[in-house]
Amino acid sequence: MSMSVRHRKGHIDVKTRNARIIKQLALCMCAVALFCAGFVVRGNHDLMSRLGIEEPETKAAVQAASADSGEVASRLNEVEGILAKSSLDSYDTDACTSAVLDSFLQSTNDTFTRYYSAGRYSTYVDVTASEDYPGVGVFFSEYNGQAYALDVFEGSSASDAGVLPGDFVVAIDGDRSQEWTSTEVINAVQREAGSTVVITWRRPTSLDASGGDEFTTTLVCTDYTEPNVTAQLQNNVGYIKLRQFTQNADSLVRQAIEELSSQGAQSFVLDLRDNPGGYLNKAVDVASLFVKSGVVVEIDTVDAQTTKQVSGNVATDAPVVVLVNGNTAGSAEVLAAALRDSNRATLVGVNTMGRGSVQVTKPLSFGGALRYTAARYKSPSGYTIDGVGVSPDVVISLREGSSVDNQKEIAIETAGSLVVD
């Protein structure tokens, strides 16, 4: 429960009032100080562990973080002094903390950075890539920190309600007090089978567009399973669709390559369209199926640059075409860039999303948590993926309103043309 400070002229002890004000502002200052120091002091250990990199903290980094937080704290301390001596205003501690941190985070210009209040964080569970989709039949992704429908499963409650790929989540059960991230949405719709959830959506003209018509749906929750890898042979070209980078993505792609090769595949199309990413190490493992040696990705953090290299366990040396689109993100962009930079693949489609970064969520000592960007990816040739994306060699947009997948057709035709007799 939040606490408020009430001031009544002539009816309150000045020392008591000042003590309360000091306590509340101290909480705000601690929040800001922890935010500043968290980038260096606490965030990198979890990040390095997640990426499989050993990176000790440096004394210089800790001192730099302390200096920055001290400057911010001194400014808040000046305000605290004025309020303690002269203010008759009242304010709510939790609201003060949220307001200070929200404004602070907006100044970073990072749309993925979030402060989660204690109540909001209590429902937060980190989501991992999987073939199982408990919820409403929607495969959610995230764009500029906001959840949207990347895919809607045929025959699902969402499909029956008219939800389309590209629809953004505005509110869940009437709560529109925040911008919903994909993780929060997935957590919110993971309910007992047969229960319902009310979701309000916004339908923009594109992912970048603001506005758009809103509509509300009442959806039935259930469990859905979709194959992560599908494969087919067409004109001696092996076509492989990879939905996301799950823990077994590399073994599934290897199996598909081997089966298609036994059927006579002489080249391959790897379809990464609408792939939101997933485990980075699995993107590296998939790259290893096609590339014999070299760097897959450079990872830049506050005070370190590290690289991930292929394992050399190649599954095929046949020509490869990679299909990408505006929903290709994260680890999928890393793979596409690596295959192109190593001269191992031709990219077909349109520019990718440009989400080449890693977000870490850290609990805070006073309750709640902070999500921030702790690393960014660069391609083997050194160009930044985040905010830029990966551009294809053959630019071809999907023909709207057509029952024919023209991008896939061009990719298969291109793959076939790369075969040397």
Q: How confident is the model at residue 44 (pLDDT cuts 50, 70, 90)?
A: very low
Region 185-204 average pLDDT: 91
* Cα dihedral value 8, 9, 15, 17, nearest 10: 30
Q: How confident is the model at residue 228 (pLDDT cuts 50, 70, 90)?
A: very high
Between residues 189 and 169, the one the model is more confident about = 169
Between residues 200 and 3, the one the model is more confident about = 200
**Domain 229-359+372-417 = CATH 3.40.50.2300:** no
DSSP 228: S
Token pair 């980190």 is at which residue? 126
Per-residue model confidence (pLDDT) at position 133: 57
**Residue spans per domain, the chain:** 14-109, 132-225, 229-359+372-417
The mean predicted confidence, pLDDT, of the chain is 82
Per-residue model confidence (pLDDT) at position 328: 97
Per-residue model confidence (pLDDT) at position 66: 46
Residues in CB range of 13: below 8 A, 6 or more apart: none
Query: Judging by beta carbons within 10 Å of its beta carbon (0-12, 13-18, 19+), is residue 361 exposed, middle or buried?
Result: middle
Per-residue model confidence (pLDDT) at position 124: 67
Q: How confident is the model at residue 18 (pLDDT cuts 50, 70, 90)?
A: very low
Instruction: Quote the pTM value.
Output: 0.74
The CATH number fitting domain 132-225, selected from 2.130.10.30, 3.20.20.70, 3.30.460.40, 2.30.42.10: 2.30.42.10
Per-residue pLDDT for 130 more than 60?
no
Per-residue model confidence (pLDDT) at position 303: 85
Angle between helical axes of 331-341 and 280-287 (0-180°, round to 10):
30
Per-residue model confidence (pLDDT) at position 126: 58
The yes-or-no answer to whether 132-225 and 229-359+372-417 have a common fold is: no
Please report how many Cα atoms fall inside a 13 Å half-sphere around the Cα of residue 288, on the Cβ side: 15
Q: How confident is the model at residue 48 (pLDDT cuts 50, 70, 90)?
A: very low
Percentage, residues of the chain above pLDDT 70? 81
Give the Cα separation of 361 and 356 in Å (integer).
17
Name which of 91-95, 153-157, 249-253 the model is least confident about: 91-95
Per-residue model confidence (pLDDT) at position 52: 46
Angle of CA points 105, 107, 113, to nearest 5°: 30
Give the Cα separation of 172 and 170 in Å (integer).
7
pLDDT digits (tens, 9 = 90+) for 339-358: 999 999 999 999 999 999 98
Between residues 24 and 212, the one the model is more confident about = 212
